[in-house]
Structures are given as C-alpha cells and as structure tokens.
Chains A and B, each alone.
Chain A
Amino acid sequence: MNIKENIKTLVIKKPLKLDCGKTINNFPLAYETYGSLNKNKDNAILVFHALTGDQFVTGINPVTKKDGWWSYAVGPNKSIDTNKYFVICANVIGGCMGSFGPSHKNPDTNKIYGTDFPVITINDMVNAQVNLLDHFEIKKLFSVVGGSMGGMQVLQFISNYPDKASTVVPIACTSSHSAQNIAFNELGRQAIASDHNWSDGKYLSNNTLPDKGLSVARMAAHITYLSKKGLQEKFGRKLQERDALKFGFDADFQIESYLRYQGSVFVDRFDANSYLYITRAMDYFDLVKQFDGNLSNAFKKTKAKFFVISFTSDWLYPTQENKDIVIALNAIGADVGFVEIKSDKGHDSFLLDVPDFLKTLKNFLDKSYIER
C-alpha cells in the first residue's frame, strides 16, 4: 500500500502508550475533513469508521475512485450535513489508508512491520485520534458518531474523554464483542493465515499477496453483514448467467458469484495484515470488563446526550446488545434516546439507503445542534 499524495496526514509526536505495553511516537494518522469549522469551533463531528472503512467518508474516495463508505449519510443536506457541520474522520491506527499500520516500515529495522506491528485496541485507536482535536484547536466536539466498530470507538471515546463531545451516537454496535463476533473474525484471520502467500505476514517483503485468503475472509464476513431475508429476496436460488445447474464447482448461483466479486474487489483496496490487526482490536473490545463488569461506570463522568440506533435484521450486533448500552445509561440517569430501525438489510443497514435511519439520524443531530 503506497501512501498516496492525496492523503492528509498528521504526524503525532506525543508518545502513545498502547494497551499491549509498547509505546509509539512520531507516527502518522491519516485523516480527511468535510465542511468547514465555524468560528466558535463547536460544529465538529468526529466520525469513526468500521472494520474495512477509511477516512474517505463521502464524495469520491481518491484512492479507490469509488463513493466514500458513508456517502448516503454524510454530505451537503444529508443526515450529517456538511453545510452545517465540520466532519473529521481518521483512518484507524493498524489500518491501511495512510495511518500507522503493519504495512509501514519499522524505522529500527528498516523492514516492513507485518506481524511485528504491535497489537492495537479500540482504546489505542481513539487515543490516537483525540490528537486531531488539538490539531484543529477544538475544545469540544459537537458529536461523535460511528457504526459497528465505529460505534465501539464512539463508546470508548466518550468513556476516555467524557467532556470532549456534546452528543454521542453509537450505531449498530456493542459494548463487548460476543463469542459469535470473535468466531467470525477468527474465521477471517484463519483464511488469511492459511494462504501460502501470507508467509507469516511477510508477504510485502516477498512481493506476494495473500489475495485468496483475504478474499475468503471478506466473503465470510460479508454474509454476516446481510440478513437471511435480504439475501433470499435479492438472490434466492437464481442462477448466474446460465439456464441450468452445471454439475460442477463453478459459481452456479448468483449469490456465489456476488460473494466472489465482493472478495475480489476487496483485496484491491485492503491489506491482509491490517485485517488481522483490526479484527483483533474488535475482539479485544470489552468496555464492560474495562469497568469491572459495570458498563454504567464507563459513562458516569459524561453529561453528553446519547442516541443509540440498532436495526431489526442486524444479527451481528443485534438490538439487545445495543439496548444493553441504553440500559447502562438509564441506570445512571443519563440523557439517552434509542430507536430500532426496521430494515431487511442486516448489519449493513447503517451504510445503505435506509430512509428511516437517515432521517432519524439527521433529526437527532440537527435538533441537538439547535438546543446545544
């Protein structure tokens, strides 16, 4: 992964002590911004991306030349209205869109880190990103927003920095990665590790790529982002450019072809080692344990206004796990709203054109902005 010219990078000089015990400094954090910061510097929203996202939230991603991952929700007059708000998003550390990650060179050895890169956590990610506030001289963000792993970062952020955001919007996420979540992530990691080209993570030095493994990891994960009903309605048992079954192992069904395509396009934009590191960070996420079994304590110090959103067909981060966050907040009398949006689009609902979701998110932000 080359650092492209159109990637903005902040070099963080301040040492950051990681949860694994290692300390990093002088490391790059790649970010992008949309809209403009107002005079009072109180219209900033920090958006956190999910597992395979990056800092290019909306518009055309200058590296992949495709739409930004949250183009439905972020932009002029959209839910996160860039005419009104200053949107900041950073590539997570451990990622592969310019931020300090396993495809970077270790200055001590002059070799690409690979699996020598320190294991990072959600906590490390937000502790790196909080430096962006100093960079833009923002005392308090108007909001922190994110779905899936982005939602986990939202929760960790407000727990670490209780007075650095006025509103908090965790979407389709959890406060503690479940056994099922870990199981799916492990499946992905094993798919990568079992690709010979992976070479214990040293593939970049060997000029090979574990495309097959990464693509299988993506295929498996992609299924978890959709719902059974959504898959059935979109694909059913429809055949792929053929009239009958071929009695072989080619992609007979459209769903097979679709998954293979999803896998193949993913390897062009994502680094296999980053996939290992970021899924690991998600698995290690357990905000409940961080607060000795009482999630409420994670939010005790903040006066922020929370709005939790889940989706009916999301079985990866189901409503109950989102509701546990609401329950923990209500237990301490925090200001929390909650809605479960009806959608057949599974976990991916938050990334897609789901009008009820987009409208509700906009209403919450815009009303809170007026009342702030």
Chain B
Amino acid sequence: MKTEYKIIVDLIEEKTRVLDVGCDDGTLMESLKKNKNVDARGIEISKDKVQTCVSKGLTVIEGNAELDLKQFPNDSFDYVVLGQTLQAFVNPEIVIKELLRVGRKAIITIPNFGHWKVRLNLLIKGTMPITESLPNDWYNTPNIHMCTIKDFVKFSKIINFKIFKSLALTNKNISNINNSNLFYKNLFAELGIFLIEK
C-alpha cells in the first residue's frame, strides 16, 4: 500500500465514521476497515472503480464530490478524506468548506508543485513540468488548480480553517512541517498531508 495511505490510516482514530472522497479502487477504505474498524463510505466518479469497490464489499456511491457532498448532513462523518484531488476541482474553496461541513475533520493530501524537480523542470525546459506525481501534459491534465505546500498553508489563513497536523512525504519518509522548516519542506516534499478542522 502507498505510504500516503499508511499515513492517513495512522491519522484516523478507531471506530470512527470516514468518508473517502474520490476513493479510487477502495484500497484506503479496505485498510481503514481492517486496521481501524471504521465505518467507511466512499464517493467515486469512475464507474469501473465503483464496481471494483462493490466487488470488495465496500459502500461506495458513484458521484462527483463537487455536486454530491451536498447530500450529506452537517458533521455526518468524523473524517472526510480527499486524496490528491483538491487541485482538480473548479472551486477548491467550496470543496474544502464542504469537506469541513460534512466532516468534523478532513484529511487533504496535495501533490506539491513547489518540489524542486517541478521547479527545475519549468526553469530548465521551459515547458509545463511532468514528474512521477504529475504525469500529464498541460492539455490533458485534470489538475487545473495546482498549488504548493506553502500555498496550502497560506490558503488556510485566507479561507480560515485550522491545520491540525501537517506532514511532508519525501522519498517515503514522513516528517512534520512547521513554520521554521516550511521553506525546505516546500522544496523537497513530494506530497503534503494535512489534517484540518473548521
């Protein structure tokens, strides 16, 4: 299982209610059910992946987070997870607010556009960066709102949510992000993982 998922599983307390937004093939949900005994639900936009989740016995609804989070009442989950998809939404602000309305806490992971490889790619080649975590060309990428770890931290102040815990993933190593190391983490982390609250 991806290190990212392991970190998320660690962040989530046992026997809680979790909604995985963009749950993909249900790998994270399965692990949460097995290791943390959570009541896991998923939303997934791809029909094939929903069917894969059903074959694993997972409760998933086919849908689009931007449209379908609306149907859940306030605080209906302890955690809402959004893995590497914030940058694909038309309006990330609305999505974050919806996550924090539906869930008491949210876990958001973002591919870090501030990573040195991305920066170097653009600086040297002069073309839109293509890396392992950002494999698409500019014209076919679903990512329309890329941001850096620093941007996300800044965003928390702009739209007013609390970052409870922020972690950086660098070569499968996990480390804490704080004010004093933000510059370095923003340069070397491939992924930022944030536990946030209203």
Question: A-side interface residues toward B, CB under 8 Å?
Answer: 305, 307, 326-327, 330-331, 333, 335-342, 356, 359-360, 363-364, 367-368, 370-371
Contacts and interface: CB of A to CB of B under 8 A. Distances in A.
Interface centre among A327, A335, A356 (most CB of B within 10 A): A327
B71 A326 contact: yes
12 contacts: A326-B71, A331-B73, A339-B54, A341-B47, A342-B47, A356-B51, A359-B55, A360-B51, A360-B55, A363-B55, A367-B55, A370-B57
Given A331-B71, A339-B50, A342-B47, A326 B61 contact: yes
B51 A337 contact: no
Nearest to B63: A338
Interface of B: 17, 47, 50-51, 54-63, 71-73, 76
A370 B55 CA distance: 12
A333 B74 CA distance: 11
A341 B60 CA distance: 14
Contact of A338 (B17, B55, B62, B73): B62
B71 A340 contact: no
Main secondary structure of the interface of B (DSSP, over half): mixed
B37 to A, nearest CB: 13
Given A330-B72, A341-B47, A360 B54 contact: yes
A338 B60 CA distance: 6
Contact of B61 (A305, A338, A370): A338
Nearest to A324: B71
A371 B57 contact: yes
Nearest to B50: A339
A340 B49 CA distance: 12
A256 to B, nearest CB: 35
Given A330-B71, A342-B47, A363-B51, A368 B76 contact: no
Nearest to B69: A330
A271 B88 CA distance: 55
Contacts of A339: 47, 50-51, 54, 60-62
Contact of A327 (B17, B54, B71): B71
Given A330-B72, A331-B73, A364 B62 contact: no
A24 B47 CA distance: 46
Contacts of B60: 337-339
A159 B32 CA distance: 31
B61 A363 contact: no
B59 A335 contact: yes
B71 A359 contact: no
B51 A330 contact: no
Contact of A337 (B61, B71, B73, B76): B61
Given A330-B71, A331-B73, A337 B59 contact: yes
Nearest to B17: A333
A328 B72 CA distance: 9
Contacts of A307: 54
B73 to A, nearest CB: 6
A23 to B, nearest CB: 40
Contacts of B54: 307, 337, 339, 360, 363-364, 367
| In the complex, the 9 A-B pairs of residues with the closest C-beta atoms, listed nearest first | A367-B57, A338-B61, A363-B55, A327-B71, A330-B71, A337-B59, A339-B50, A363-B54, A339-B62
B57 to A, nearest CB: 3
A326 B55 CA distance: 19
A294 to B, nearest CB: 13
Contacts of B61: 326, 330, 336-339
A333 to B, nearest CB: 6
Contacts of A337: 54, 58-61
A326 to B, nearest CB: 6
Contact of A333 (B57, B63, B73): B73
A341 B54 CA distance: 13
Given A333-B73, A338-B61, A340-B62, 16 more contacts: A330-B72, A336-B61, A337-B54, A337-B60, A338-B62, A339-B61, A339-B62, A340-B47, A359-B51, A359-B55, A360-B51, A363-B55, A364-B54, A367-B56, A367-B57, A371-B57
Nearest to A357: B51
A327 B63 CA distance: 11
B51 A368 contact: no
A349 to B, nearest CB: 14
B158 to A, nearest CB: 30
Interface centre among A307, A327, A330 (most CB of B within 10 A): A330
A327 to B, nearest CB: 4
A115 to B, nearest CB: 43
B59 A305 contact: yes
Nearest to B60: A337
A229 B61 CA distance: 27
Nearest to B44: A339
